[in-house]
Amino acid sequence: MSTPRIRLPESASEGEEIEIRTLLTHPMITGVSSDDPRDMLTRFEARMNGETVFAYDFANGSAANPTFIFFVRAAAPGEFSFTWTHEDGQSVSAEESVRIS
Amino acid sequence: MTRFLTRRQFGTLVSASAATLAMPGILRAENTGRLLIIGGGFGGASAARFARINYPDVSVTLVEPQTSFVTCPYGNLILGGKRALSDITHSYDGLRARGVDVIHDRAQEIDADGHRVTLASGDVLDYDKLILSPGIGLRWNAIEGYDEAASEVFPHAWWGGDGSQISLLRAQLEALPEGGVVGLAIPDNPFRCPPGPYERISMIAHHLKQANPTAKILAFDAKEGFAKQGLFENAWAELYGDMIEWIPASGDGRIMRVDPGNKLFISEFGEEHSVDMGNVIPPQYAASIARDAGLANDSGWVPVDPRTFEAEAASDIHVIGDANIGTPMPKSGYIANSTAKTAVTAALAEMSGRPAWDDPVYFNTCYSHAGEDYGISVAATFRLSEDGIAATPDSGGVSLQGDLSEMARTRRLEARYADAWYDSITDDMFS
Amino acid sequence: MMRQKLLAAAVAITCAGWPLTALGGDADGHMLAQACAGCHGADWGGQGPISDLRGYDHEAFLRAWAEFQADERPATIMNRIARGYSEAEIAALADYFSSLE
């Protein structure tokens, strides 16, 4: 799978709502409308300090190159991890941290 | 300025008296009105000419800061070396000769309740009906670091103005080092002239193919797709090989920040792209005069009655051209020209007795030049529906697709028709 | 009836473009025709390779339009545009252009 792209601020003030953007380049081939073999992600999950803050289960209607923009309130310094899991069980992850200033 | 019926017209009317009864407006020729038009572009100039021809009793005043008009359409052909600035510069003398009072000044403030407009010079103009066709404003700093000063390094060339922006872009193109990189930043919808950026890419490539064939064009887009995409991509592959790379939002094509000092484009996900020259087409909204008058909504564009183009927020002000919300009609010169005439008819209906156009039908035609003798087009027809304006089903669409070997004649014809369109519509504005 | 309509149209033109609707016609030929000026020349007098619409024979206009709609006439763009108009609108355009000098 390709390298994930993540955008979030390096630092935030306590209690601030921060915007997180993620993008994974992936064709999301369902195999329904073409003879190409199925090639689909099944789940995206974002964790802050180990706790899931955002998750999405993909389905046949999910577009290629899934992009998420979501907001998280920064209560404490955050270690973020982002995981995309493929239907075949493989996954790709990225990690980022946000300081509290 | 007031003109009464000529004797010849009067004679015709008498001999067709049955018909005249149905045309009460003609008999109220002395009931003159003052039509004020702000903005002398595709909307405003078309409105002025149409009003003079069809409503000779109404006085028409046009306020426009530029003393001549540089069109955005065909500006890209300057980049391609196929036109000079003088070819796309138009005089207001034709409108003056028709009796339009053309004032070169900037409209500063609209007093909708008082029906008057204050100009930068301090002069105040009273009106009965106002046609506002101010065009777009550029959202400076919507792309971080892209302000007016930055546009001297990375030109936008997205309004005609005095022609300096498109000339600067052309000069940079000529000075591009061998094998250099041209970056473009293209905004999300809605924006002026949806196929414009892609014609621009084509015309830049057309120039580079001859002058600098190892150069590269990186087109960063905040969208996933664009107008006439299939036709453009075919043309690029056929004519320019791998010179052009188009990067959609899903490929991290959205440019969020520019650094003109270091000639950098910085993407949504933080990638820094070094360019030798850059054309930044920033996000847009209605020009400031419309926003300052409180006519725009939160989107920055002006909601209007789709039948009359009267602003929802003020009576007797009809907003036409790129500044309004005419969805699904594109922000094109063609639509500005057509809707200008509907707006004038609606604005003057009461005074003239000539009814407003109740069931308007429009079509849009956007031609683009993708190369030498290589024209492509998109067309659509529109009419009113219950939910406002709607595209008419089973009509419109893009040029025939196919290999150039089979399509050469079609492409050549459409390039000719594009040129004729330009001459025709600018005549319909200025002659 | 047609004769009367044509006479009315002629009056309309002399009187600064008064349309047929003012005289009880179905569709507003004068206003419908406005968009055509974008390519067919200001005042519809033709432009370069694009045809002059003034005085276009009424029957020939209707025939040409029907052929554009059916893709039975060589076209680049008129076929696409022609399909967006109703019969009443096409008739009003034919009335209008045939009445122009």
- Domain segments of chain A: what residues? 1-28+48-76
Same domain, B154 and B222: yes
> What are the tokens at B179?
């094998």
pLDDT score, position B2: 37
Closest CA to B397 of C81, C90, A83: C81
B349 Cβ contact list (under 8 Å, min separation 6) = B355, B356
B337 closest CB neighbour out of C38, C41, C48 = C38
Cβ-Cβ contacts under 8 Å, C92 against chain B: none
Please indicate, yes or no, if residue B342 is contained in any of the structural domains. yes
Question: For residue B203, what is the domain's CATH number?
Answer: 3.50.50.60
Domain range annotation of chain C: 2-99
Tell me the average pLDDT across B5-11: 35
Pairing of strands A41-48, A51-57: antiparallel
User: Distance of CA A73 to CAs A8, A18, A53, Å?
Assistant: 12, 6, 10
Q: Per-block average pLDDT, block size 10, for chain C (101 residues)?
A: 40 39 66 97 95 97 97 95 96 97 90
The residue with tokens 């009793």 is: B57
% of chain B at pLDDT higher than 70 = 93
| Last-in-domain residue among B327, B357, B387 | B357
pLDDT at B378 over 50: yes
pLDDT at A94 over 80: yes
The residue with tokens 């009814």 is: B355
- Number of structural domains, chain B? 2
pLDDT score, position B29: 41
Asked if B14 has any chain C CB less than 8 Å from its own CB, the reply is no
Asked if C74 has any chain B CB less than 8 Å from its own CB, the reply is no
pLDDT score, position A75: 81
Q: How far is C81 from chain B (nearest CA, A)?
A: 6
- For B409, nearest residue in chain C (alpha carbons): C76
pLDDT, tens digit, for every residue of B355-377?
Answer: 999 999 999 999 999 999 999 99
pLDDT score, position A33: 84
pLDDT, tens digit, for every residue of B43-57?
Answer: 999 999 999 999 999
C81 closest CB neighbour out of B50, B338, B363 = B363
A7 closest CB neighbour out of B249, B251, B270 = B270
pLDDT at B278 over 60: yes
Number of Cβ within 10 Å of residue B28's Cβ equals: 13
- Distance, in Å, from the CA atom of B343 to the CA atom of B336, rounded to the nearest integer, reads 10
- For B251, nearest residue in chain A (alpha carbons): A25
pLDDT, tens digit, for every residue of A22-36?
Answer: 999 999 999 998 889
Same domain, B398 and B270: yes
Q: Is the dihedral of CA B286, B189, B195, B388 positive or negative?
A: negative
Closest CA to C98 of C26, C24, C13, C35: C13
What is the CATH superfamily name and number for domain C2-99? Cytochrome c-like domain (1.10.760.10)
Closest CA to B376 of B239, B188, B218, B221: B239
Cβ-Cβ contacts under 8 Å, C80 against chain B: 379, 395-397
Question: At how many degrees (to 10) do helices B7-15 and C2-14 cross?
Answer: 160
Asked if C90 has any chain B CB less than 8 Å from its own CB, the reply is no
Tell me whether residues C81 and B379 touch, CB distance under 8 A.
yes
Task: Give first-to-last CA distance, chain A, whole Å.
Answer: 35
pLDDT, tens digit, for every residue of B13-47?
Answer: 333 334 444 444 444 344 479 999 999 999 999 99
- For A68, nearest residue in chain B (alpha carbons): B250
Longest dimension (CA), chain C: 37
Asked if A69 has any chain B CB less than 8 Å from its own CB, the reply is no
Interface-testing mutation among C47, C69, C100, with chain B (most B C-beta atoms within 10 A):
C47
| Last-in-domain residue among B357, B386, B404 | B357
pLDDT score, position B403: 84
Listing from the earlier edge strand, what are the strands of the sheet with A78-86?
Answer: A11-12, A91-100, A78-86, A41-48, A51-57
Same domain, B275 and B306: no
Tell me whether residues A65 and B250 touch, CB distance under 8 A.
yes
> What are the tokens at B279?
């054309």
Instruction: State residue A49 phi and psi, 5-degree precision.
Output: 50, 40
pLDDT score, position C21: 40
pLDDT score, position C69: 97
pLDDT score, position C25: 52
Interface-testing mutation among B348, B359, B431, with chain C (most C C-beta atoms within 10 A):
B359
Name the neighbours of C, counting chains with at least 3 Cβ pairs within 8 A: B
Cβ-Cβ contacts under 8 Å, B383 against chain C: 84
pLDDT score, position C49: 94
CATH of domain A1-28+48-76: 2.60.40.10
Cβ-Cβ contacts under 8 Å, B250 against chain A: 23, 25, 64-65, 67
Please indicate, yes or no, if residue B2 is contained in any of the structural domains. no
By mean pLDDT, which of A66-75, B130-139, B241-250 is the weakest? Answer: A66-75
Report the Cα B188 to chain-centroid distance in Å.
17
pLDDT band at A2 (very low <50, low <70, confident <90, very high): confident
More confident residue, B151 or B11: B151
User: Exposed e or buried b for every residue in B373-410, given b needs 16+ CB within 10 A?
Assistant: ebbbbbbbbbbeeeebbeebeebbebbbeeeeeebeeb
Asked if A6 has any chain B CB less than 8 Å from its own CB, the reply is yes
| Last-in-domain residue among B298, B326, B357 | B357
Closest CA to B201 of B370, B418, B376: B370
Angle CA(B196)–CA(B46)–CA(B140) in degrees, nearest 5?
Answer: 45
pLDDT at B156 over 50: yes
Tell me the average pLDDT across A63-69: 94
pLDDT score, position B34: 97
A with B: 3 or more CB pairs under 8 Å? yes
Asked if C79 has any chain B CB less than 8 Å from its own CB, the reply is no
B250 closest CB neighbour out of A6, A21, A25 = A25
Same domain, B347 and B420: no
pLDDT score, position B385: 92
Asked if A5 has any chain B CB less than 8 Å from its own CB, the reply is yes
Cβ-Cβ contacts under 8 Å, A5 against chain B: 252, 268-269
C1 Cβ contact list (under 8 Å, min separation 6) = none
B244, HSE (Cβ side, Cα atoms, 13 Å): 29
The residue with tokens 């009072």 is: B101
Please indicate, yes or no, if residue B343 is contained in any of the structural domains. yes
pLDDT at B6 over 60: no
pLDDT score, position B32: 72
Cβ-Cβ contacts under 8 Å, A65 against chain B: 250-251
Tell me whether residues A7 and B249 touch, CB distance under 8 A.
no
Same domain, B228 and B375: yes
pLDDT score, position C1: 38
> What are the tokens at B296?
């725009």
More confident residue, A93 or B404: A93
Give B306's DSSP letter. Answer: T
Asked if B268 has any chain A CB less than 8 Å from its own CB, the reply is yes
pLDDT band at A74 (very low <50, low <70, confident <90, very high): confident
Domain span including residue B35 = 7-137+286-357
